[in-house]
Structure 1
Amino acid sequence: MTVALPPRPDWSQLIKSGCRVFVGGNAGVPYALIDDLIANSKAYSDIELVHMLALGDNRWAKEEYRQLFKVNTFFIHGDEVRRAVDEGRADYTPVFLSEMSSLFSDGTLPLDTALVMVSPPDEFGYCSLGVSVDICMSAARHANKVVAQINPQMPRTAGHSYLHISEFAAVIEADQPLQEIEAPPIDSVTERIGQYVAMLVEDGATLQFGVGKIPSATLKYLERHKDLGIHSEMLSDSIMEIIASGAISNRKKTFHPGKVVTSFCIGSRKLYDFVNNNPHIEFYPSSYVNKPTNIAKNDNMIAINSALEVDLTGQVVADSLGFDFYSGIGGQVDFVSGASMSKGGKPIIALPSTAKNETVSRIVPYITEGSGVVTSRGNVHYIVTEYGIASLRGKSIRERALELIRVAHPKFRAKLLAEVRQNYWVPHYQQKYPTDIPELGAIQLHKMVVNGEKFYLRPLNPADERRLQEFFYSHTKETLRLRYNYDPKQMSREKSCNLVSVDQSSDAALCIVRQEGSRITIHAVGRFYYNEHDNTCEAAFVTRETQQGKGMASKLLTTLIDIAQKRNINKMLAFCRADNKPMIAIFEHHGFKRLFSGDPSEVELALPLQEASQEKSA
């Protein structure tokens, strides 16, 4: 069947001065239409061009076309658009991606004409919006006239991506390569962020992610997961690798099971070929994909987004640097909200801890003057940097501040604590800022499985004050007597703060925790105190009664011994009640020998660390 094409554009019949014209964006910018309009534009002025992120040179925003076009962008991208916004020649309109389409449908921004790029029509006359359905579909449905660039290089994508040739007032046939972007290289900082984010993802979860280094790094560490799904506003090249790994099955999705759901993709030509006629990947308008209630229909929805800075209460700045608008709101709030409402969902903000070659902290005591909050402090569940995971949901301002200082770059932590003492309620007894244990490696969070349950071993830190209180009050009198040699009645906030505020460069304090969503429970604590006068340390540990005999104490002691050996400490000591036979047995199992003690109620044990290290290496 031969399909008749509409005529070439007669712009005098399609636009007029002062009208509003939508331009398709992302990788589907119809540059042939833009060029034809510019070439025939002598009679026009003050045309408002509306678009979202648009790859390519954005030539319409150049200074030379300032009388012809006034740009109104929903997302700032590219040198020309950014320069035009900075110079006041263009406007930035902040709006959630889920609500952009309603600006056209409800008449807030009525469209005279929409310029879109589509695939060639099939035998029935249907063209596909291909890699850029997003808000293009809504613009086409609500504009008075639609003009299309038919491009043989535009893929045909499944889902709600089709417009019939009869809907176009005019077309241009132009064979042009789609706009591509290269995947950025993954550096060591991004690698660690990706590892931490991956720890928050359970098998069977559904993922949303954007473009950039952090999503690529995260997906790399998800390739051994099982039955993951994807419901994401956009796809990048990383999707191909994780699908090839077998980690993506979409079987456990509770909304569009069996399918990858998206609204646009940007990346390489290989990605565009990958989505072409791929029945497993469906493209829908952003008003559908980004609708928070639709996102929430996916159980265990994991939303992974980034930020420019985060303040110590959890406010997220994502579209501006001071008074300079940098990008756009995009779909961050849509997916943060949707994941928050999802059963088992996790909204995650992931970002490097510093900028400008580690001279500027992205974790800040208060947002930079002029910057705007995109995601509020009430929406955020997790903030992830290369220094760990800060869990914010259900946390007080004080707890949030301590959690976020912990994942800030170490050289900014003291200053951040000093600032937060001035601006927020942090008690007078909170004197120390969180420190890492270098001997644990770049990743300070270590997964361990105990009787089929997942736990994490990590440093104890000031944000654990309340958790340590809860841990203390969970013990029986017998456990407290055996651990402390008396029956303590209280663990005050001041005492708990002192116990969790550890200078980990001299002493060492570890805990084993169970994390269920935002709820973190301490199940075991182990520590040693360093004695500088004789280069020895004294070790102790305590385990929740329900976990005793399962290897947690042994894991803590093994790790403490390893840390002490790496610090070239000569000897590790331990003092136990004589009737605490389980604890004595653990120390002896790890090579500790009993020393003579004049007190029959107490057993003193010692481990020569450097001898043990030499025996281990031998």
Structure 2
Amino acid sequence: MYTALPNRPDWASMLKSGNRIFLGSNAAVPNGLIDDLIKHSKDLHDIEVVHINTVSDSRWVEPQYSDLFKVNTFFINGDKMRQAVAQGRADYTPCFLSEVPSLFEQDVMPIDVALVMVGPPDEYGYCSLGVAVDVVFAAIRKARYVVAQINPNMPRTSGHSFVHVSDFHACIEQPQTLPEIPSFELDKKTERIGQYVSMLVEDGSTIQLGIGKIPNAVLRYLQNHKDLGVHSELITDGIIELISKGVINNRSKTFHPGKVVTSFCLGSQALYDFVHNNPHVEFYPVDYVNSPANIARNHNMVAINSALEVDLTGQVVSDSLGYQFYSGIGGQVDFIRGAAMSKGGKPIIAMPSTAQNGTVSRIVPTITEGSGVVTSRGHVHYVVTEFGVASLKGRSIRERALELIRIAHPDFRPQLLEAVRNHYWVPNYQKNFPREVPELGSINVKPLRIDGEEYDLRPLNPADERRLQEFFYSHTKETLFYRYNHYPTQMTREKSCELVSVDQSRDLALCIVKQKGSVSQIKAVGRYYLNTDEKSCEVAFVTREQFHGKGMASQLLREIIHIAKQRGLERMYACVRQDNKSMLKVFENAGFVRQPIDEPGELTLILNLEEKS
């Protein structure tokens, strides 16, 4: 049996002016201890308070306590803290979350007193750190004194979350309701981001998510996935339903298989009840959970984080708005790097395309003056907005710029293209900016399954310039002759750029691609050109030879006919060589009718769109 609990804290014997205290984190802020310290502070002054994210009223940062406390935070949470940092009453110290414990352990920031919240001791005297293990263990190990608030409402969590009462120098027993995070209402924009992100998550992946509308939207669109795992510094309510449905079963994890691994949780009381005595969810210190090397031990690790802005080279700003510090580095770089190192991993930045009610683009030519780059242009593989997915891995600066302009809000694309041209990243022959094809739906990608393989049907866009070149040079002479009626020998960068820089509101250019991670290869292209009468168009296709007869041209043609009808076109023309039997069959199966031969060797086919149901 454990011995009696330590006495209440005698602050005068443990603290002197100028000392440094650590304050417990996230949903486990020991407010009772802070109140007790304030009440008995007597002649104490300039006590430095260090902490990471705290979900609390943050009394210690209020102006009336500025003589008692000097706040130094690793993460800025809430308007009260932001205002204190902006006014110089509090400091912000940027640091990777995985490295915060080392600041305590290596005495870079020696801790005099650690104030922590725990659950009641068991029969052997062990208390659980509950919902917030994070950096608390390091503070407990290194502090000269450890003072605990024993809270009967604290869940008892599994993993490396236990501290013996003999480690405490003082304590108080005081109930405290754990703070609940309100649910986030999803709008259409956020849902669309969630859909795009979910398309990047393959069955069997291990995921990391933060908190907020976008993570909730992603979780909503993972309902039909299989065998997902979780390795995340933070878990929220969204995982409960996916676990109960068997979507998250951690079966495919290659690091801690069968277990959800986390460092802290934030959410509703239902979440806190869920983790209580739950052997399937394990809490570990953040230097273990957020270690990029440990993260990478999960194959197919998908890290999903957000940003305040991204520049056209891929630099990510996430802790500041210009000179105003907004949040913190947190675990973003830890997980982005770990996912990049993982076999099959995917580091993703997901964010709305605009801020301030659509008046400001989050995708910018250059980062705002005063802003800090948290995640470098070399870290991120994908950026997602409600307008699509930009793939950055292995892309040149010019290709990155075009990819990111494609997913920027349409209102800002022309000026982004013009601005980036000033830096010579985009050549002068790049005249058009990307456009959506609204007739494809809100998600401009249609998954296809052909011969048991997964493909995507989507619009061609300016970032496909190099891919279209590769597509051209993959063709045999026969394919080139059938498509162009002669033997072209070169597809210059300028010509390729012209072919992918399509005004999709007038002409149409679609492709079928095989997407595997950051590798994307065009398999088929279909397009129509609007005729001068603006009531008819001419359509053409080309497919990689090994995919002839697989139905790709037919898939593209069905989509093109649907879009042409939506746009009110009346007729569709096709010119095909008489000896191109396979292409003639594609058109005639779609209802095209041969016309009398005008020129030897070539047939014209017409589809009356008004008659076709």
- TM, length-normalised to structure 1: 0.98
What letter corresponds to residue 438 of structure 1 in structure 2?
P
What letter corresponds to residue 308 of structure 1 in structure 2?
L
Q: Is the 8 A contact 1:190 1:386 kept in 2?
A: yes
Q: Is the 8 A contact 1:56 1:78 kept in 2?
A: no
What letter corresponds to residue 542 of structure 1 in structure 2?
V
Matches within 5 A, 1:426-505: 426-505=426-505
Matches of 1:401 and 1:267, distance apart in 2: 37
Name the counterpart of 1:6: 6
Question: Cα deviations across residues 510-553 of structure 1 (Å, max 9, x unaligned)?
Answer: 00111111111000000000114251011111111111111111
Matches of 2:597 and 2:142, distance apart in 1: 88
Matches of 1:57 and 1:86, distance apart in 2: 18
Matches within 5 A, 1:375-414: 375-414=375-414
Name the counterpart of 2:582: 582
Q: Alignment partner of 1:611: what SS?
A: coil
User: 2:43 aligned with 1:40, yes or no?
Assistant: no
User: 2:229 aligned with 1:245, yes or no?
Assistant: no
Name the counterpart of 1:423: 423
Name the counterpart of 1:100: 100
What letter corresponds to residue 605 of structure 1 in structure 2?
L
Q: Is the 8 A contact 1:50 1:73 kept in 2?
A: yes
Matches of 1:397 and 1:79, distance apart in 2: 37
Deviation at 1:597, TM superposition (A): 2.2
What letter corresponds to residue 204 of structure 1 in structure 2?
G
Q: Is the 8 A contact 2:534 2:569 kept in 1?
A: no
Question: Cα deviations across residues 51-95 of structure 1 (Å, max 9, x unaligned)?
Answer: 011002101000000000000000000222111101001000000
Q: Is the 8 A contact 2:401 2:425 kept in 1?
A: no
Deviation at 1:332, TM superposition (A): 0.2
What letter corresponds to residue 476 of structure 1 in structure 2?
T
Q: Alignment partner of 1:163: what SS?
A: strand
Matches of 2:310 and 2:491, distance apart in 1: 32
Matches of 1:238 and 1:367, distance apart in 2: 33
Question: Cα deviations across residues 20-75 of structure 1 (Å, max 9, x unaligned)?
Answer: 00000100000000000000112100000000110021010000000000000000
Matches within 5 A, 1:161-560: 161-533=161-533, 535-560=535-560
Matches of 2:143 and 2:534, distance apart in 1: 81
Deviation at 1:468, TM superposition (A): 0.1
Q: Is the 8 A contact 1:304 1:347 kept in 2?
A: yes
Q: Is the 8 A contact 1:406 1:433 kept in 2?
A: yes
User: 2:98 aligned with 1:85, yes or no?
Assistant: no
Matches of 1:156 and 1:594, distance apart in 2: 76
Deviates more, 1:342-351 or 1:420-429: 420-429
Matches of 1:490 and 1:236, distance apart in 2: 54
Name the counterpart of 2:594: 594
Deviation at 1:360, TM superposition (A): 0.4
Matches of 2:323 and 2:563, distance apart in 1: 46
Matches within 5 A, 1:136-151: 136-151=136-151
User: Which structure 1 segments of 5+ residues have no match?
Assistant: none
What letter corresponds to residue 207 of structure 2 in structure 1?
L
Name the counterpart of 1:69: 69
Matches of 2:224 and 2:425, distance apart in 1: 43
Q: Give runs of ≥4 in structure 1 deviating > 3 Å.
A: none
Q: Is the 8 A contact 1:58 1:78 kept in 2?
A: no
Question: Matched residues, percent identical?
Answer: 65
Deviation at 1:424, TM superposition (A): 3.5
Q: Is the 8 A contact 1:353 1:362 kept in 2?
A: yes
Matches of 2:554 and 2:110, distance apart in 1: 68
Matches of 2:301 and 2:69, distance apart in 1: 41
Name the counterpart of 2:115: 115
Q: Is the 8 A contact 2:113 2:146 kept in 1?
A: yes
Q: Alignment partner of 2:48: what SS?
A: strand
Matches of 1:226 and 1:533, distance apart in 2: 50
What letter corresponds to residue 213 of structure 1 in structure 2?
K
Matches of 1:588 and 1:140, distance apart in 2: 76
Matches of 2:475 and 2:265, distance apart in 1: 53
Deviation at 1:249, TM superposition (A): 1.1
Q: Is the 8 A contact 1:310 1:316 kept in 2?
A: yes
Deviation at 1:244, TM superposition (A): 1.7
What letter corresponds to residue 374 of structure 1 in structure 2?
V
Q: Is the 8 A contact 1:3 1:123 kept in 2?
A: no
What letter corresponds to residue 141 of structure 1 in structure 2?
R
Name the counterpart of 1:153: 153
Matches of 1:2 and 1:498, distance apart in 2: 77
Matches of 2:451 and 2:14, distance apart in 1: 69
Question: Cα deviations across residues 389-424 of structure 1 (Å, max 9, x unaligned)?
Answer: 000000000000000000000110000000010023
Matches of 1:161 and 1:278, distance apart in 2: 13
Name the counterpart of 2:126: 126
Question: Cα deviations across residues 461-489 of structure 1 (Å, max 9, x unaligned)?
Answer: 00000000000000111111111111110
Q: Alignment partner of 1:330: what SS?
A: coil
Name the counterpart of 2:24: 24
Matches of 1:467 and 1:442, distance apart in 2: 24
Matches of 1:176 and 1:532, distance apart in 2: 73
Q: Is the 8 A contact 1:57 1:78 kept in 2?
A: no
Matches of 1:68 and 1:454, distance apart in 2: 62
Q: Is the 8 A contact 1:397 1:424 kept in 2?
A: no
Matches of 1:609 and 1:468, distance apart in 2: 30
Matches of 1:532 and 1:129, distance apart in 2: 72
Matches of 2:583 and 2:211, distance apart in 1: 51
Matches of 1:399 and 1:513, distance apart in 2: 17
Q: Is the 8 A contact 1:456 1:513 kept in 2?
A: yes
Matches of 1:129 and 1:435, distance apart in 2: 51
Deviation at 1:308, TM superposition (A): 0.2
Q: Is the 8 A contact 1:19 1:112 kept in 2?
A: yes
What letter corresponds to residue 32 of structure 1 in structure 2?
G
Matches of 1:547 and 1:200, distance apart in 2: 24
Q: Is the 8 A contact 2:288 2:294 kept in 1?
A: yes
Q: Is the 8 A contact 2:480 2:488 kept in 1?
A: yes
Deviation at 1:2, TM superposition (A): 5.9
User: Which structure 2 segments of 5+ residues have no match?
Assistant: none
Q: Alignment partner of 1:465: what SS?
A: helix
Q: Alignment partner of 1:411: what SS?
A: helix
Deviates more, 1:601-610 or 1:281-290: 601-610
Q: Is the 8 A contact 1:131 1:157 kept in 2?
A: yes
Question: Cα deviations across residues 243-295 of structure 1 (Å, max 9, x unaligned)?
Answer: 12211111111110110000000011110000000000000000000000000
Deviation at 1:16, TM superposition (A): 1.1
Matches of 2:79 and 2:322, distance apart in 1: 18
Matches of 2:128 and 2:416, distance apart in 1: 52
